[in-house]
Chain A
Amino acid sequence: MGAVWTIVTKDLQQRLRDKSVLIFSIAVPLALMTVLNLVIPTGADDVELEPVTVAASIDADDELADVVVSSLAGLSVFQVTVADSEDPRAAVDAGDADLGLIIPPGLTEDLRSGTEHSVQMVIGDSAGLSANILIAVTDGLLSEMRARSVSAAAAIEAGLGPEVAAQLAQQEVDAASAITAEAGAASDEQLSAGGALIAGQAGLFLMFTVGFGVLSMVAERESGTLARLRSMPIRPGSIVLAKALGAFVLGVLATSVLLTAGSLLFGVTFGNVGAVGVLVLCAVAAATSLTFIVVRLARTAEQANIVQTILALVLGMSGGAFFPIAASGALGAVLDVNPIAAFTRGLGITAGGGGLSDLTGPVLTLLAFAAVCLLVSRVIPDRGETR
């Protein structure tokens, strides 16, 4: 055990001295988290519905056009100010209004007679989410109005006579038929967009960090120091164990630093520290076990580097380090095996207040991934051995 410890401390000292760990495992992911946080809007977390000013050009005598305007002005979700305007487009262009509404005269008459009528809305630079909602609301109002014309036309079509048609054209949509949506509570196991970014980046760079263990092993093989180590009275397994242990220690340290710094910098909480700690240990174990496969696949340090980078990026992207992957069914199940996805999922559970007992799924996934990787690494031929 003394030999293992000596190799581990020597490797750790060397990694710190050549600054590679500091750059790769701490500086780069923190920089990337900061930049991505700046660049990518972090979802629905901080969406605010701003008041909207609408410049409207309508015929004051047109009954239905009036209904549209008063419905918009009466919205309760956010404040809507409607002002009459000769040229809404110019008003929007000049920045006097966020949105322009143009309803040419004759809407009521055209709807009654089934003639085409165009309604225009003009959006400008200042239009935000509220403007888009107003457009959707107007669209809804218009389709409701059109639905009455359709009902009337259908009544004629079905041979019910003009009186019934006229009656249907006036009739409000029956409340009994209403299908309404009730906002359900989102799962409390959901990471915020900022939290998902930190978790994903920590998982992605964990893959790179543990790769330093493999790299030092392959580099020793290339420079001939591995052969010399093997000539010492040390069991061959101890050298591999020491390299893996070094990678494991680095992985745990780097991931802990990233999660702590990320949550401090971006105001995200991941919940119970003990549960998060267990999750980190399991995720690092899974990532480290993957490097046992890399060390057998790569002949040179350069190849090891490339294979490790590829595995990290593939697992990182498919695990949702940059954006969540929309998937369900079989594809979703395949993605679930990904250690980064399992790690992020676990952090979602702890962030929602879950404890150790709620982490069974992610922890088992991570440990199973580690076991399978170890098994595979025993089976595949060692390409580096021939050197």
Chain B
Amino acid sequence: MSRNTVAGWSFILPNFVGFAALTLLPVAVLFYVAFTNWNVFGVAEWTGTANFRRMWNDASFWTALRNTVYYAVFHIPLTLAAALGLALLLNRKLRGVRFFRTIAFFPYITSIVAIAVVWNQLFSPEYGPINALLGAVGVDNPPGWTASATWSMPAVIIVGTWRYMGYYMLLFLAGLQTIPAQLYEAAETDGASPWQRFVHVTLPGLRHTTFFVTVLLTIESFKVFDLILVMTGGGPGQSTLVLSQYIYQKGFEENQFGYASAVSIVLFAICFGITVIQFMVNKRRNS
């Protein structure tokens, strides 16, 4: 073995031991456990595709999957637009933008429990300020938010978007700063309106950032969990039950590790598949 190989490995090893044991190994084991019947104390019993066949007929699984897609379909574009809008606004030379950038980032560093409990108070159907405000502007029948099966998911999506937009805004801001100012000047000399400059200079310049943000945002949406668990507990009924939470329920509350792992594989496959598709689409667009 060459000296470089020894040196290289010696640097990586302290981290790699932990990484291999606690991340790589569990990911590999997942594909075995999913084909077994297993609880904490027992032994794994190979059951082939039984878990997957059970999942196919499991109405709760489909509800969780549908709700996860519901969350993602609204959370992704909303957050993308809000983050980009904030970034454009805060990229301008206005007094106090630095202060505002800090503020925008604040929800992201705040703990999920604090956020959930505050928003639950704000959303309180009878006494909360949000419905008071809606009442004041003439909404006769304000939503029941987290107390209503119809409005619980929108409520969760609003909070999710509020929490994460500052984070993605930061990525957009970094992207905006890489667009050369000359491009804007040239466009302006050519008589391009600000809207045209946005479409023909800003958006193409942000393409890589937008791609990266979309990938991150998609993974984040599909693994949503803590926010929902603390805000609604998946309810009312199963109206906000999502995949991650269903995995948690089956695995840690009901000790059905094999079945929970099978559901985990679905979550894994979705995130992996979407990432691969996004990369392929991006590659084709670039070439």
Task: Tell whether A and B belong to one assembly.
Answer: no
